[in-house]
Structure 1
Amino acid sequence: MSDSNTTDFTNPSTFILLGIPGQEAAHIWISIPFCTMYTIAILGNFTILIIVKREPSLHVPMYYFLCMLAITDLVVYTSTLPKMLAIFWFNSREIDFSACLTQIYFIRCFSVMESGILVAMAFDRYVAICNPLRHSTILTNPVVAKIGLAMVLRGGMVSLPYPFLVRQWPYCTTNIIPQPFCTHTAVVKLACADTRVNSYYGFFVLFCVFGLDGIFIAISYILILRAIFSLPTKDARLKTFGTCGSHLCVILTSYFPGLFISLMYWSGQNVPGHIHIFIANLYIFMLPMLNPIIYGVRTKQIQDRLLRLFTHKGA
């Protein structure tokens, strides 16, 4: 295949995505769980958006933030998974250089936005539990809108250097990316230059953005748990803890699997590369599918509104 040969070039117009390297014969079967997750995520997140829009009682900060989370999940899915499925189904491996940079930007941007939204949701739960009488005056609709705008601007600005850094390097050995979509790390590995600035900026984002977000969430829940354990009765403690149970489940599914995958990359030297890629991609696409399920299962208001929605349709 001539377009995937390793030749001398400095600015490739396209890259070749391999999907899951070494597992080309099984791509059709590998596509099944990803296609299933895509369908569930689209239906689940759109259902959340429709329910919150139609139900006035859900027009409160927690559900506004949940809608922001649903939108970020939908954007991450639609910017990556259609191309991934095209590789699995039609062997459509070629991707334009600009489209590759766009994928990198959207993945980074909306990952930062999602992390910020989780912090905002933790703050909402902190105010609701620790200062319930002031919740409606602290988190007003204009304040929620400003928080949402701040998350969008932060994600856009923090992620903006990634495509510019990737674009400036010469690529002189190969244009083959052993991934089903473009990632910053995979593309930078192909550059024929000293790309340490990319690594330094990546570590900066990891520690100063995701690290600080994790610290803020941890502090919020320490204060929340302290307030919960100070309540006089067990029933009151369980009822209050239940109001932040959904968000806590999302936090656990976001951070702990990511930590496990990071440890696997550092210590699992004997694990085949295609297993690394499959598990990492499964983790990336599983979260947007799980978020609406978690809130749908654990939030009575959403369950009731969903039941009424289908009951009226059936009637």
Structure 2
Amino acid sequence: MVLASGNSSSHPVSFILLGIPGLESFQFWIAFPFCATYAVAVVGNITLLHVIRIDHTLHEPMYLFLAMLAITDLVLSSSTQPKMLAIFWFHAHEIQYHACLIQVFFIHAFSSMESGVLMAMALDCYVAICFPLRHSSILTPLVLIKLGTIVMLRGLLWVSPFCFMVSRMPFCQHQAIPQSYCEHMAVLKLVCADTSISRGYGLFVAFSVAGFDMIVIGKSYVMILRAVLQLPSGEACLKAFSTCASHICVILALYIPALFSFLTYRFGHDVPRVVHILFANLYLLIPPMLNPIIYGVKTKQIGVRVIQGCCGNIP
């Protein structure tokens, strides 16, 4: 493997992404459900963005957060799936060094943004249910802009040091990554130097982002459920429970595979590699597909507009 020299470190020209080690003979067929999932995610999120853009009645906090989530899902899934499909179908295992670092940045930055958007949506739901008369005065346009900016900047600023620290480290001769995309810890394992600082920073980012967001989300839904149980109408209570349950499923679909993958890299040495890599792929595949379905279609206004669009009735 040819190494390129820099000012203070040497890095490879490219890496080799192995895909899913242990399932090489099945990767061609595994790519079909992956491709179908990606197609649903792209079509669903683009449809969601289009409906929110053209319908001015949907320019409210909840739908603006949905638009942010759709953009995040499109970037997150598109940063990995095309290359993954190229590996599975065309054996295009090589990825350039800088392209790999860019992929690391996009995966972790937009995973952080997705977590932040889900937190913001939980807060919006909490305010809408617990303080319905003050919703518009609490979540003003200025507050929405500030919240969205904080979510975006947190993802960019927290994750940028990953790429900077890795780019300053020397790499070993072995350049094969046992993954279908470039993940921070997978790349870090190829470094021939002390990586304790970078590993420690990774733990800090993961627990400061996911930990904080999960605490806020959990507390928000506890307060929401408490308010829902006090509703006088049984039908309204059941409807609210259904909505909360679907939202919680989406949140768990992101956090469970993501945390499993993250912790397995550091502590789960006995976890079979195939299981680990499949979970690592799922958290980049399933949430982008589920989000437009659960958050979009289950939202009455968006569902109606989608049906009207399919029937050619959108003005």
> Fold conserved (TM > 0.5)?
yes
Q: Quick one: which amino acid aligns to residue 77 of structure 2?
A: Y
Deviation at 1:224, TM superposition (A): 1.4
Q: Quick one: which amino acid aligns to residue 291 of structure 2?
A: N
Match of 1:269 in 2: 270
Deviation at 1:230, TM superposition (A): 2.4
State how 1:1-315 maps to structure 2 within 5 Å.
Answer: 10-241=10-241, 244-258=244-258, 269=270, 271=272, 273-312=273-312
> Residue 267 and residue 209 in structure 1: after superposition, are their counterparts in 2 closer, same or farther (change >3 A)?
closer
Per-residue CA shift, 1:148-191, capped at 9, x if unaligned? 11111111000110001111111123111111111101110011
In 2: Cα distance, 1:177 partner to 1:24 partner = 14
Per-residue CA shift, 1:64-112, capped at 9, x if unaligned? 1011011001001111111111111221111111111100000110011
Whether the 8 Å contact between 1:295 and 1:302 is mirrored in structure 2 is no
Identity score, percent: 52
In 1: Cα distance, 2:261 partner to 2:104 partner = 20
Deviation at 1:243, TM superposition (A): 5.4
> Residue 263 and residue 250 in structure 1: after superposition, are their counterparts in 2 closer, same or farther (change >3 A)?
same
> Residue 257 and residue 191 in structure 1: after superposition, are their counterparts in 2 closer, same or farther (change >3 A)?
closer
Whether the 8 Å contact between 2:15 and 2:175 is mirrored in structure 1 is yes
Q: Quick one: which amino acid aligns to residue 47 of structure 1?
A: T
In 2: Cα distance, 1:278 partner to 1:48 partner = 28
Whether the 8 Å contact between 1:127 and 1:135 is mirrored in structure 2 is yes
Match of 2:6 in 1: none
In 1: Cα distance, 2:271 partner to 2:291 partner = 32
Helix, strand or coil at the partner of 2:11: coil
For normalisation by structure 2, the TM-score amounts to 0.90
In 1: Cα distance, 2:271 partner to 2:233 partner = 51
In 1: Cα distance, 2:64 partner to 2:242 partner = 19
Which one is further off, 119-128 or 261-270?
261-270
Q: Quick one: which amino acid aligns to residue 50 of structure 1?
A: H
Whether the 8 Å contact between 1:245 and 1:298 is mirrored in structure 2 is no
In 2: Cα distance, 1:310 partner to 1:203 partner = 46
> Residue 211 and residue 259 in structure 1: after superposition, are their counterparts in 2 closer, same or farther (change >3 A)?
same
Deviation at 1:51, TM superposition (A): 1.0
In 2: Cα distance, 1:172 partner to 1:258 partner = 27
> Residue 291 and residue 222 in structure 1: after superposition, are their counterparts in 2 closer, same or farther (change >3 A)?
same
Whether the 8 Å contact between 2:258 and 2:279 is mirrored in structure 1 is no
Deviation at 1:245, TM superposition (A): 4.8
Helix, strand or coil at the partner of 2:16: strand
Q: Quick one: which amino acid aligns to residue 226 of structure 1?
A: R
Match of 1:6 in 2: none
Which one is further off, 260-269 or 17-26?
260-269
Query: CA RMSD of the aligned region, Å?
Result: 2.4
> Residue 65 and residue 175 in structure 1: after superposition, are their counterparts in 2 closer, same or farther (change >3 A)?
same
Q: Quick one: which amino acid aligns to residue 269 of structure 1?
A: D
Q: Quick one: which amino acid aligns to residue 206 of structure 1?
A: A
Helix, strand or coil at the partner of 1:11: strand
For normalisation by structure 1, the TM-score amounts to 0.90
Aligned length: 308
> 5+ unaligned residues in a row in structure 2: which ranges?
3-8
